[in-house]
A and B are shown apart, each in its own frame.
Chain A
Amino acid sequence: MEDVQVVAMLVRRCIAGDAAAWEEIVQTYNRRIYNICYRFAGSGDDAQDLTQEVFIKMYRTLSSYDAAKGAFVTWVTTITRNLLVDHFRKTKQDRMTDSMDSAASEHEDAQPLSEQIPDQSAPPDTRVRQREVSETVHQALSRLSPELREAVILRDLQDMDYREIATALRVPEGTVKSRINRGRAELARLLQRTYRQVM
């Protein structure tokens, strides 16, 4: 995923005050962090704010990164996850009134890339249906408990391996696997219920 030496060099340059190196880090990781934040927080605006916060925290604590302890991406994911958990705790009250039936995300930029690029081959109704399904799954994901959600996001959407997830979440690998299983099953149950209601 990342060349450890290249990343370590980039980090060293950043700490030395090289703005270009920092910009390279931002360009490399902003997409990944934004996606984690978007899937966890559920809204594009929140994801943008949270991504910015993650990078601010990264910038301030970059000197604390130790390449010997783990990959840079794991360190970045850990920071992201911690901020997301903080954000979850802060906005718990607001989310209690949310429901899956609430309006779909109005954030234009939150659309999947595949939907932003016009696809001539797929008919419009198929695209609309895909978009609806995607939005429903996204809404269902945001209804999972944070423990299950973060595990599922890191595994199924970020393709992290169990060891990296265990490091980022600071839990044993067995717990990670169990959470992923439960998260997937819970998501399937929620979606089943939703589609049964629609039918």
Chain B
Amino acid sequence: MPDRTKNDHTSNGMQCVEFDLLLADVLDGVLSGAGLDRFQAHARTCKTCGPLLAEAEAGRNWLKGLTEVEPPASLVPNILASTTGVDSQRLRTMVRAPQPRVSWWEHVQASFLEPTWALVRQPRFAMSFGMAFFALSVGLTVAGVKVSDLRQISLRPSAIRHTYYNVQARVVRYVDNSRQVLEMQAALRGIKRNMNPAEPGQSKQKERKNDTTQQPEQKQDRNYSQTGERLILAGDPLGPSNRDLPVVSVTTDRRFV
């Protein structure tokens, strides 16, 4: 975009500012006579205004090619609905037209049964229903409920309470005695033991503080399993480092006496 304020100059008795103001009139065809001659002379000589005239004319011609667009058909009803709250004159007359009488059964059928039936007929609904039925039957089988037993069920409050406690006890027993639960409990105990190895040591130190006998502490909890795992060979020559080792080799977990 050329800077017209810097390049503003007089050419053929016309300034660029004046040219700019007359440009629209020239393109509209309302300027004629001496004014038009001066304008054209300026356009020929001015390096800024000449191209501007050509570009403005071209731009106007491009815009002439743009035709009016058709608004969407829903526009007017939407505007009327959002302003006056009615869809349109035509819709209003349609609403006012007398409606044929319908019975209550037809009304129920049209407003409830038909939409429900249409929903039920959908494969998606049938699939969901099938899945729900399957889940229910599996759940009843796991819980040990038989359909034939339902006939003998007593519905007295005390009987229901009794049944509830029985079922609860059975579920608790089943869960507690299941192999997975026991394994998980054992694993948790192991993790807990590994995570807190310093705890027994701390209690031991506390005990030693109270000990006034000055005797060396007797090791109570020897780890026999570690000792047992150490392989001692009978034929192994006793070197200076192995002098303390016993002669008899024991490879079992038995305790040394």
Contact = CB atoms under 8 A, between A and B. Distances in A.
A113 B59 contact: no
Given A157-B63, A177-B23, A178-B20, A30 B69 contact: no
Contact of A44 (B72, B79, B83, B86): B72
A134 B56 CA distance: 18
Contacts of B59: 152, 183-188, 191
Interface string A167-187: 000000010011011111111
B68 to A, nearest CB: 6
Given A137-B62, A182-B1, A185-B56, A31 B88 contact: no
Interface residues of A, number: 53
B79 A52 contact: yes
Contacts of A178: 20-21
A184 B55 contact: yes
B180 interface: no
Interface string A51-93: 1100110010000000000000000000000000000000000
A143 interface: no
A192 B20 CA distance: 22
Interface in A183-199: 183-189, 191-192
B74 to A, nearest CB: 8
B199 interface: no
A181 B16 CA distance: 13
A188 B83 contact: no
B1 A26 contact: no
Contact of A156 (B54, B60, B83): B60
Interface stretch (A4-12, A32-40, A95-103, A120-128): A32-40
Given A27-B76, A157-B63, A188-B62, A38 B69 contact: yes
Given A157-B63, A181-B56, A184-B60, A19 B84 contact: yes
B71 interface: yes
Contacts of B1: 182, 186
Contact of B68 (A31, A109, A137): A31
Nearest to A136: B62
Given A23-B80, A30-B79, A113-B70, A187 B63 contact: yes
Interface residues of B, number: 39
Contact of A181 (B24, B63, B70, B75): B24
A177 B88 contact: no
B200 interface: no
A26 B65 contact: no
Nearest to A182: B1
A169 to B, nearest CB: 15
A178 B59 CA distance: 14
Given A134-B67, A187-B59, A52 B23 contact: no
A140 B66 CA distance: 12
Contact of B66 (A55, A109, A134, A174): A134
Interface in B25-71: 25, 27, 52, 54-60, 62-71
Interface of B: 1, 20-21, 23-25, 27, 52, 54-60, 62-76, 78-80, 82-84, 86, 88-89
Given A19-B86, A184-B63, 18 more contacts: A30-B71, A55-B83, A112-B66, A112-B68, A113-B68, A113-B69, A114-B67, A134-B65, A134-B66, A137-B62, A137-B63, A156-B64, A157-B68, A162-B24, A184-B56, A186-B55, A186-B59, A188-B62
11 contacts: A31-B68, A34-B75, A48-B75, A110-B69, A134-B65, A137-B66, A157-B63, A178-B21, A181-B20, A184-B55, A188-B62
Interface of A: 19-20, 22-23, 26-27, 30-31, 34-35, 38-39, 44, 48, 51-52, 55-56, 59, 109-116, 130, 133-134, 137-138, 140-141, 152, 156-157, 162, 174, 177-178, 180-189, 191-192
